């Protein structure tokens, strides 16, 4: 299988703090991969480097075989990388559909086309707040969907989801899992950060555990769930026991 993104010996230092420590790994095109680990493990920092919000201190990042280590965020969006934000960042005074239009404008300057695409995304993502609702007035789950929808409107090939299920109830999480699967079926590759272990294990074909900035283990959900290193660093004995 082809890889859509590859990181080689990537390190990120913030002053004296090493947030990501010599991380190497790749994501296969078409897969759903889970990125998990304790708070502060460096997950979001990895997303920031993949999306070129800032460059690594050292190491290289290749996207579809091209060295993008020093690329800009806008060029990554054009290449097909989209991400959501852990702390949702809607354009608060704009409606939900207008937020989606912002994404759609990446590929068209035609306002009517952008609106049509945004309305399609509104339906596709299953929002219930009303398409004319001001983004600031939406519920947690709709804000999460808004993040996904705005990213989807840019027509991504690789979608990075940073805790889109956090703060959602079990039913809403199930819905979001189905949404992720639906997106994957259209050929989009997904890299998903989540703390809900049960949910992430059920969604992903591969799991990467990040611990203190470094990759602790990578494997299928089963392999990871039964690995003593994963249990002691993050999952805990309860998960091992199948609770």
Q: Which residues bind ligand ATP (CB under 6 A)?
A: 14, 17, 19, 37, 39-45, 86
Tell me the C-alpha distance between 31 and 221, whole Å.
14
In angstroms, give the least distance from the CB of 218 to ligand ATP: 16
Site pattern 82..121 for Mg ion (x: CB under 5 A): ----x-----------------------------------
Angle separating helix axes 140-152 and 96-104, nearest 10 degrees: 20
Residue in 68, 44, 69 with CA at minimum distance from that of residue 58: 69
Residue 53's binding partner out of ligand ATP, Mg ion, none, with CB under 5 to 8 Å set by partner kind: none
Residue 130 backbone dihedrals phi, psi, to 5 degrees:
100, 130
- Tell me the residue nearest to Mg ion as measured from the CB: 44
Length of the chain: 243
Residue 41's binding partner out of ligand ATP, Mg ion, none, with CB under 5 to 8 Å set by partner kind: ligand ATP
Tell me the C-alpha distance between 77 and 106, whole Å.
8
Tell me the C-alpha distance between 105 and 172, whole Å.
29
- The residue from 11, 44, 48, 179 that contacts Mg ion (CB under 5 A) is 44
In angstroms, give the least distance from the CB of 39 to ligand ATP: 3
In angstroms, give the least distance from the CB of 230 to Mg ion: 19
- Helix, strand or coil for residue 204? coil
Distances (CA, A) of 163 to 35, 98, 169, 174: 10, 23, 13, 14
Q: Report the residue number, 29 or 86, with the smaller CB distance to Mg ion.
A: 86
In angstroms, give the least distance from the CB of 51 to ligand ATP: 13
Tell me the C-alpha distance between 176 and 125, whole Å.
9
| Binding flag, residue 138, Mg ion (CB under 5 A) | no
Residue 39's binding partner out of Mg ion, ligand ATP, none, with CB under 5 to 8 Å set by partner kind: ligand ATP
Q: Report the residue number, 33 or 101, with the smaller CB distance to ligand ATP.
A: 33
């Amino acid at each position: 299988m082809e890889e859509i993104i590859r990181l080689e010996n990537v390190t990120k230092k913030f002053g004296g703090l090493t947030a990501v420590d010599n991380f190497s790994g790749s994501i296969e095109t078409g897969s759903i991969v889970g990125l998990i680990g304790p708070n502060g493990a460096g997950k979001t920092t990895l997303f920031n480097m993949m999306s070129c919000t800032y460059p690594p201190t050292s190491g290289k990042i290749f996207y579809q075989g091209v060295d993008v280590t020093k690329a800009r965020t806008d060029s990554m969006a054009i290449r097909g990388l989209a991400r959501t934000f852990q702390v949702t960042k809607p354009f608060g005074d704009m409606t939900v559909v207008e937020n989606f239009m912002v994404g759609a404008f990446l590929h068209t300057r035609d306002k009517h086309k952008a609106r049509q695409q945004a309305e399609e995304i509104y339906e596709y993502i299953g929002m219930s707040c009303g398409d004319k609702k001001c983004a600031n007035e939406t519920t947690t789950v709709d804000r999460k969907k808004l993040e996904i929808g705005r990213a989807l409107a840019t027509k991504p090939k690789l979608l990075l989801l940073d805790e889109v299920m956090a703060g959602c109830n079990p039913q809403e999480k199930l819905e979001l899992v189905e949404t992720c699967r639906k997106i994957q079926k259209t050929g989009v590759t997904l890299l998903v950060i989540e703390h809900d272990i049960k949910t992430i294990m059920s969604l992903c074909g591969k799991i990467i555990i990040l611990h203190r900035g470094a990759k602790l283990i990578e494997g299928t959900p089963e392999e990871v769930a039964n690995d003593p290193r994963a249990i002691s660093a993050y999952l805990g004995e309860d998960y091992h026991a199948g609770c």
